[in-house]
């Protein structure tokens, strides 16, 4: 299934794509795509519904983040060898964990808002994992059984806030609209191998990132299992799994995003995003 949320910001409804790629309204059977509503049992109930029996959605509505009110927005850093190298860091020997504020979550076509004081605005195409079950101490062998599905995430970053200020990376990762997510939550049954997905990102039509999840240092199985050793993962949690090389920080000269830039990105089978960079209002 390809699940999504559509409609005005703050009043989105859940939807599903039918076989022809048209949006069908799920609001009569699911209140929203959040928490237990994206749990494995809830997805099984949705899977039993014929999308053709649901009301079609007219026109081309705004698309919101494919999950709502995520409990925790987890992230993995330096998870591709060449990205670690371009960042001037050694490839990690275990997953590097950090969080984005849940308030950074936004739709896949919303603008990237450059924060006040920002000088080093960057992009990162990433495979997103949506957790579908309460999970703790799960083995790598069983880890995919806790996954509801996958999505595209742009882990927007402000590198000066991230790397040149005291404290943790979270301050460079959490501004409003720093978490474009979607357009779809693609259920795990439609992604037989999450380690075989091409991913790409362009800025103003120029290729910046082009790689594959096959190049991850730590696989989806390893990431889910590892996180579950230190915390309880909950239905609706998001995990951004790291980005390949090609970020602005690693370029010579560094080509930071500025207002007016157009960013496009996508992952095989999971859809595409597009954002325009805008200045902080006021």
Whole-angstrom Cα distance, residue 242 to residue 211? 12
The correct answer on CATH 3.90.850.10 for the domain covering 73-279 is yes
pLDDT score recorded for residue 87? 81
pLDDT score recorded for residue 257? 98
Domain boundaries, the chain: 2-53, 73-279
pLDDT score recorded for residue 84? 81
Segments of the chain scoring below 50 in pLDDT: none
pLDDT score recorded for residue 86? 83
Question: DSSP string of 8-76?
Answer: STT--EEEEE-TTS-EEE-TTT-S-SSGGGGSHHHHHHHHTS-GGGSPBPPS---B--SS-S-S-EEEE
Q: Which residue has the tokens 């039993």?
A: 48
pLDDT score recorded for residue 282? 72
Segment 121-141, tens digit of pLDDT: 999 999 999 999 999 999 999
pLDDT score recorded for residue 90? 85
Whole-angstrom Cα distance, residue 183 to residue 220? 20
pLDDT score recorded for residue 81? 85
Q: Which residues contact 192 (CB under 8 A, 6 or more apart)?
A: none
Segment 197-242, tens digit of pLDDT: 999 999 999 999 999 999 999 999 999 999 999 999 999 999 999 9
């Amino acid at each position: 299934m390809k699940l999504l949320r559509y409609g005005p910001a703050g009043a989105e409804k859940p939807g599903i794509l039918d076989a022809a790629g048209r949006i069908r309204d799920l609001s009569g059977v699911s209140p929203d795509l959040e928490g237990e509503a994206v749990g494995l049992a809830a997805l099984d109930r949705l899977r039993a519904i014929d999308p053709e029996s649901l009301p079609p959605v007219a026109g081309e509505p705004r698309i919101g983040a494919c999950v709502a009110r995520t409990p925790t927005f987890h992230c993995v850093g330096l998870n591709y060898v060449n990205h670690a190298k371009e960042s001037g860091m050694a490839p990690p020997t275990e997953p590097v964990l950090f969080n984005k504020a849940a308030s950074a979550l936004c739709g896949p076509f919303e603008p990237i808002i450059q924060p006040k004081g920002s000088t080093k605005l960057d992009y990162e195409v990433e495979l997103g994992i949506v957790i579908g079950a309460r999970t703790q101490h799960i083995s790598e062998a069983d880890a995919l059984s806790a996954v509801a599905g996958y999505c595209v995430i742009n882990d927007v970053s402000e590198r000066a806030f991230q790397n040149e200020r005291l404290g943790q990376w979270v301050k460079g990762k959490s501004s409003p609209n720093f978490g474009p997510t979607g357009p779809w939550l693609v259920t795990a049954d439609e992604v037989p191998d999450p380690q075989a997905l091409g991913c790409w990102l362009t800025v103003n039509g120029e290729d910046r990132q082009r790689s594959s999840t096959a190049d991850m240092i730590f696989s989806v199985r390893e990431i889910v299992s590892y996180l579950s050793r230190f915390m309880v993962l909950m239905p609706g949690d998001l995990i951004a799994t790291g980005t390949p090389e090609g970020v602005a920080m690693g370029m010579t000269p560094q080509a930071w995003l500025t207002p007016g830039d157009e960013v496009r990105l996508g992952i095989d089978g999971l859809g595409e995003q597009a954002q325009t960079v805008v200045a902080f209002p006021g």
